[in-house]
Amino acid sequence: MKMRSPIPHKKARIEIIPLIDIMFFLLASFMMVSLSQTHMKGIRVNLPSANYVPPANPIKDYIAIRVTEGGLIYFDNEPVLGDDVLNRLYQLHQQNKDIKVSLSAELLATHGDVITLLDKIRLSGITKIGYQIKAASITGAPGTVPPPAPAPPPGG
């Protein structure tokens, strides 16, 4: 004969809700601890003081060169004659061997003018050259604004 126990028999269950609560608590705790242990590292900056006097002839480390539609060349928005470009580049390279050049061309500048200028830059000994992919502003010097686009043909 089989005897039953007076204590009711229950099956074991795993409650998932308390486990989820514990996992979220642990996740939040680890995130807070890791954020508090982060050391902020920055770049040391020497801010100018009120009595700072800039040098009379500062050494340039960057120059923006722009070629316009008519083959006009501008160094930092100052027009430079075609004959003086190479001499000016040599002077800049002599002042600072690590000078950087940013070369840009307007929409209607010819490819040959840009390549000629690039050859002069390389000939002067400057090796750090960047190219601006976007077109330079076409509202620069007088005479460099391109004509309006032609009207579309009638009908069609």
List pLDDT tens digits, range 68-96: 888 889 998 888 888 888 999 999 889 88
Nearest to 81 by CA among 25, 120, 33, 28: 120
pLDDT in tens, 13-46: 888 888 899 999 999 999 988 887 766 677 888 8
Is the predicted pLDDT of residue 112 greater than 60, yes or no?
Answer: yes
pLDDT for the residue 23: 94
More confident site: 141 or 106: 106
Contact in structure between 103 and 121 (CB atoms under 8 Å): yes
pLDDT for the residue 25: 94
Mean pLDDT over 63-70 rounds to: 89
pLDDT for the residue 149: 58
End-to-end CA distance of the chain: 104
| Cα–Cα separations (whole angstroms), residue 130 to 19, 66, 100, 102, 119 | 57, 12, 8, 5, 14
Query: Domain 62-131 has what CATH class?
Result: alpha beta
pLDDT in tens, 143-156: 555 555 566 677 65
Is the predicted pLDDT of residue 99 greater than 80, yes or no?
Answer: yes
pLDDT > 70 in the chain, percent: 81
Contact in structure between 84 and 46 (CB atoms under 8 Å): no
Neighbouring C-beta atoms of residue 32, cutoff 10 Å: 10
Is the predicted pLDDT of residue 130 greater than 80, yes or no?
Answer: yes
Is the predicted pLDDT of residue 137 greater than 60, yes or no?
Answer: no
Element (H, E) at 116: helix 111-123
More confident site: 3 or 17: 17
